[in-house]
Amino acid sequence: MEKLDLVIAVPSQDRDALDDVASSVNQLFVTESRSLDGETVATALVSIYVTGIPLFRAWLNARVAERKGCKVTIGGDVYQGYSADDVVKIIDNIESKLEIEHKNKKGNRKSGSK
Amino acid sequence: MIEVGLAPDAIARYLRATRGVDSEYLSRDVTALETFYVDVLESLYNSGLNIHHIKLYLVDSVRSDIETLHHNGCCQIIFDQGMMDIFDMLNHVFLTEFPATDPDSLPPPQFWAHALFANRFLARGQRVEASIQAAIANNYSSVNERPDSPYLQHGDLWVTVQSGYAIAHEIAHCHLDDESTTLARTIANDFENKMLPLVRRHDEENPVDLTPPHLHLARNVNADLARKFNLDLSTVLEHFGEKDWEMIPQRRARTLEEQLDVLLHDDSNVGEEILCDYWAMLFTSRIMGSSIIHPDEALVICFAAFLFQSAIRYFEAQAASFSDDYLSLETMLDETDEVNIRTQFFMFSAQIIGDMHILHDYDLGLISGDDLAVTGRQRRELLAENLNSLNKAYYKIVEPIVAQGIAGQTFLMAHAIPADDVIRKIASSSTLADVVRDCVKNY
């Protein structure tokens, strides 16, 4: 099954929230990340599969409902997850990238079988 | 080796997820930077400090930052070469444009500022705002030729020293986390014996100013914007809400010694930042200064790097406030205060380290005993003059844009450039990162 790597960042004090997301994705590591402005955030590198999308969407929506938000980075593109619209954008992007990945792999298999 | 291709799998995947799959292809020669990094670690190792938990990864993307991951006792420093492009652009701005600007006038927002806004907007994922800023930047660049400058001869050297300073600063953080006692004791000793006398003298010579400096500046910038777009000043003031500025409570003034005392003993991270500034400046000027550049010049270049990083932070904060609206004026002033105190501390530290360099040259026989007093005084004066000039340049060039703030950007976006189909097309394009990077590189 095709998967997509993405990075989720939340404020340091919300680090436990990254444990909750683990049910929807394959969590590779959780780390503290300090940026140029000295701010430290909790960051998780995760792999998501198509089957995990509904649970991940629910996790994002729960963050929005709690007015906490998060930041999701996929292939160098940053998405702020602070509103319902943001969640739609993030999920759309994940779905389209997984679809492309799926098509590419299918294409490779076909060309490999010739 | 410190290339992403050789990074452990999880880190390589992290880098591709956060910076894009092409970020492992570097666009600049980093041989001097790699040598500097190895020299710093070797110097630490020879001093008995642990270096095995520190790793450096170089990448190249529009994110243009430096990030440190703390994971399982390791410090993974990620330096993004896009930051070198910003250093390069700001070196040009400071070293070519500023001297030609009338020192009594406020420089209008130039396209470098829009290029930097485009970069920080995109780094935060705000593609439409990044597209608008890039369009404004390109509009300026089509009418302004990049000025010739003596800086061009040494540009790569300056950028290398500045990048080295940024990396050394992060290495210092890694050590303050793990081995605070060794490093903190050394720095505390310098602080007590060398820094405090300078700070006290500064306080005696500079009584505390109770006037909020931003109010006057904000009015000037608004008037400047009104002139620029041929608008009535009252319209601009209404849009910006000048009353907000007037309502700023007078902030409790402290002497520099009181401020430093609070910063170094409270739980905020400002004290740690100050210590890391000092340490990074010491190591960068000592290592680069013994190989590729005069140590006092290295100090000035480090100061420029510090100021540029402050500018990046300001622009980033304003880009954040554009979408999140969380950055209050009070918060912005807190950040300004932080930058001010770090700047003052940086300049004092540079003088102390400059004196160390003079004694070092004396020990090596580069300065004779007879010449020590004269040469030392001349070098001190030259260093102080260069640091002060850079600091003044920063306030002339960057502060008006900071004071104009996000309100100014909102105004520009609402009135100067309509978010039309062209902008939306650029925003949704996969080449937006290239467009924004070109804005920065083309200055």
Residue A21 is predicted with a pLDDT of 85
Report the distance separating Cα B254 and Cα B258, nearest Å. 6
- The verdict on a CB contact (< 8 Å) between B14 and A7 is yes
Helix, strand or coil for residue B66? Answer: strand
Report the distance separating Cα A100 and Cα B346, nearest Å. 50
Q: Poorest-confidence range of B93-107, B165-179, B234-248? A: B234-248
The reply to whether B100 touches chain A by the CB within 8 Å rule is: no
Report the distance separating Cα A18 and Cα A46, nearest Å. 10
Work out the angle between the directed axes of helices B329-363 and B270-289 (0-180°, nearest 10). 30
Q: If pLDDT is split at 50, 70 and 90, which confidence band does A98 have?
A: confident
- Sequence-distant (6+) residues with CB within 8 A of B10 are A28, A29, A45
Of A45, A77, A82, the CB nearest to B14: A45
Residue B160 has pLDDT above 90, yes or no: yes
Contacts 24+ apart (CB under 8 A), A15-20: A15/A42, A17/A63, A17/A68, A17/A70, A18/A42, A18/A44, A20/A59
| Alpha carbon separation from A11 to A71, A76, A77, B178, B379 (Å, rounded) | 10, 20, 19, 22, 46
The reply to whether B71 touches chain A by the CB within 8 Å rule is: yes
The reply to whether A85 touches chain B by the CB within 8 Å rule is: no
B 159-198 residues with CB < 8 A to A: 173
The reply to whether B204 touches chain A by the CB within 8 Å rule is: no
Please, what is the average pLDDT of chain B? Answer: 77
Residue B106 is predicted with a pLDDT of 44
Q: Collect all residues of chain A within an 8 Å Cβ-Cβ radius of residue B125.
A: 71, 77-80
Report the distance separating Cα B45 and Cα B101, nearest Å. 47
Which amino acid, one-letter code, is at A94? I
Q: Collect all residues of chain A within an 8 Å Cβ-Cβ radius of residue B123.
A: 78
Residue B317 is predicted with a pLDDT of 81
pLDDT digits (tens, 9 = 90+) for B214-265: 555 555 555 665 665 555 556 555 555 545 544 444 444 567 787 777 776 6
Q: Collect all residues of chain A within an 8 Å Cβ-Cβ radius of residue B324.
A: 80, 82
- The verdict on a CB contact (< 8 Å) between B125 and A77 is yes
Residue A69 is predicted with a pLDDT of 85
CA distance B21 to chain A (A): 6
- For residue A78, list its beta bridge partners: A73
Of A6, A37, A45, the CB nearest to B10: A45
The reply to whether A94 touches chain B by the CB within 8 Å rule is: no
What ipTM describes this predicted complex?
0.89
Rounded to two decimals, the pTM is: 0.84
Q: Residue written as tokens 């997850």? A: A81
Report the distance separating Cα A89 and Cα B378, nearest Å. 60
In chain B, pLDDT over 90 holds for what percent of residues? 20
